[in-house]
Amino acid sequence: MPLVCLKDFKAHARERLSKSSWDFIEGVADEGITRDENIAAFKKIRLRPRYLRDVSEVDTRTTIQGEEISAPICISPTAFHGIFWPDGEVSTARAAQAAGICYITSTFASCTLEDIVASAPQGLRWFQLYVQSDWQLNKQLIQRVESLGFKALVITVDAPIIGKRREDIRNQFDLMKSLQLKNLRLPTERNSLPCTQAPPISASFCWDNLSWIQSITQLPIILKGILTKEDAELAVEHNVHGIIVSNHGGRQLDEVPASIDALSEVVSAVKGKIEVYLDGGVRTGTDVLKALALGAKCIFLGRPILWGLAYKGEDGVEEVLNILKNEFHTSMSLIGCRSVAEINRDLIQFSRL
């Protein structure tokens, strides 16, 4: 039976993975309210289609930070892809390159940055940084990714400490004990670092530290995890280049707003001065359209990419991306949009249900 939607990949991934691996994908903070709300909030938005328009040719292409992508559907940073497929991030990077979209590589990748780049040399890649307590290590990482051709630096801001993930605790962190960190040492140091010996993420990183990072790199800086107008305004004041509206998939602070619910507030706050993206809860092509109608430049996809990877590696990720891209193309056609630029807020309304 063919897999026809992203939800189908979830079922197959669950069958293929151990309990601890599955819990790692689906793990949430506390009661998981935010994770569930991320998906449910999209269903409170209804579409207002416009008909009798020529949609014989529909173009899904757009740009992010000046780089063209085939559709406003990209890959969020997620850790340890090697848990789900032997080639890990190498497979993910190849799929992203084939799909013509951006892949944000995690600080906690299973593969070395050099191997990921070599596997997909033409791919558009950004790097996600968990700011470390060791500032020399941060400098080495940032300059390393810039030299490797990564096009943007995505700083995760919503994880000064790790949220309480109940399933990881119940599993006694067994999965973590076998994981290796490949990129928190210099490439010349051949030994990987056990995950259990990872240096701490900085709990003191704040707005004043951004200028130091900006002083050591030419890469555009994107902040991932912003949810409020106050922080969005500060991001603009501190000359960052973009914001990813995200709640970490409900894995950090539970009971914060769904990403799609926070999007309008952030978009309004930046007043078009920087690009805004959305991460969290996207499962269909109409979800992508709704996010763009509310002002997102593109969406980033997290868990569904891991479902595809667990199902069939590179081919599975490519299938997930192609299904979502095709659904988005269909939604654009049926709502009356010939280009991404034509998608606007007039095409949606909020349900009273």
Active site residues: 248
Question: How far, in Å, CA of 10 to CA of 299, rounded?
Answer: 19
Q: Which two tokens stand for residue 134?
A: 């060791």
Q: What is the DSSP letter of 130?
A: -
Give the orientation angle of helix 19-26 with respect to helix 6-16, to 10 degrees: 150
- Residue 238 assigned as binding residue: no
H/E run at residue 311: helix 303-335
- Residue 336 assigned as binding residue: no
- Residue 302 assigned as binding residue: yes
DSSP helix/strand/coil, 13:
helix
- Residue 48 assigned as binding residue: no
- Residue 165 assigned as binding residue: yes
- Residue 246 assigned as binding residue: yes
- Residue 77 assigned as binding residue: yes
- Residue 160 assigned as binding residue: no
- Residue 106 assigned as binding residue: yes
- Residue 281 assigned as binding residue: yes
Other Cβ atoms closer than 10 A to 163: 19
- Residue 51 assigned as binding residue: no
Q: How far is the first Cα of the chain from the last one, in angstroms, to the nearest whole number?
A: 35
- Give the alpha-carbon dihedral of 206, 209, 214, 219, to 10 degrees: -40
Closest by CA to 249, choosing from 339, 351, 311, 165, is 165
Could you tell me which residues are annotated as the binding site for FMN?
77-79, 106, 128, 130, 156, 224, 246, 279-283, 302-303
Could you tell me which residues are annotated as the binding site for glyoxylate?
165, 248, 251
Could you tell me which residues are annotated as the binding site?
77-79, 106, 128, 130, 156, 165, 224, 246, 248, 251, 279-283, 302-303
